Amino acid sequence: MKGPDYEQAFLDAVTRVFRHPEDDPTTAAENDTIEHQASTTHLADVGRVTLKNIWQHPDTHPITLDLLLLRKFGPEWMLWSPETFELAIPHEFGVPASDLNLQKLHACLALHATEGFWERWEVFTPCAMAFNGEFPDFVTMQVPTAAQCMVAADVAMRIRDDVSWSDELKKFLGVVYLHDGILVPEPPLQFVHVEHDADVDIASIRARFPQVRTSQVAPTKDTVEDEQLRRMLAVHQFLEESRERLRYQLRLISHA
């Protein structure tokens, strides 16, 4: 009897990771440009992660770690206790995972096993911090930034796309955006509504941002709308840095 095909499970998961549609119809061309940049201009920055240090490096993407375990053990790793995969990693890969990367895996496991990330801020917050390379603090409340929430949502949608966001999380995210002074959330958090009383032309901001995002040039006028566009661009660039790390690391492990 043929055993489970872990390599095919890995390849199927890789396909799912990049199956999600992006922001708008122009994104395919944008992704081609970004993919080229990841292979050339920015490779020196993201290339610090190697197959040798991938379990220890603080910039290893959580999806990369998730896929490595899937490739080695198949989907059954998602049923393990944290203690089990903490012991399995050094046994199978020859090196233990760093404490930070274990936290990333704990967060991935939480998303595989439960729906709390999408439903309760008490679960969302520590997972979001881990996905952004920060240690979760289970004693003192941490408040993620809008950019960190974008990265966390981007990671989550690559793990599961069968869960809806609760009203509680939508309100929580709206408060985070308001705290950061960003009134127009973009994908993957475009559904977030930010309650505000500012005198600002939201329609104009939405219409102008695709050009700002494509050009990567922030507007310079001293207006409320231009300030919003500058903040939105900064958040988008933070998200793209995370995606770029994943693209590079995926090529790294796919050819290993």
Token pair 């970004």 is found at: 34
Does 62 score more than 90 pLDDT?
Answer: yes
Q: What is the pLDDT of residue 19?
A: 57
Strand, coil or helix: 95: coil
Residue 132's Cα: distance from chain center in Å? Answer: 8
128 or 1, greater pLDDT: 128
Q: What is the pLDDT of residue 17?
A: 62
Does 234 score more than 60 pLDDT?
Answer: yes
Does 30 score more than 50 pLDDT?
Answer: no
Tens digits of residue pLDDT in 134-147: 999 988 889 999 99
Residue 120's Cα: distance from chain center in Å? Answer: 18
Does 35 score more than 80 pLDDT?
Answer: no
Tens digits of residue pLDDT in 125-173: 999 999 999 999 988 889 999 999 999 999 999 999 999 999 999 999 9
Torsion of CA 189, 193, 198, 204, to 10 degrees: 60
Q: What is the pLDDT of residue 36?
A: 39
Q: What is the pLDDT of residue 39?
A: 38
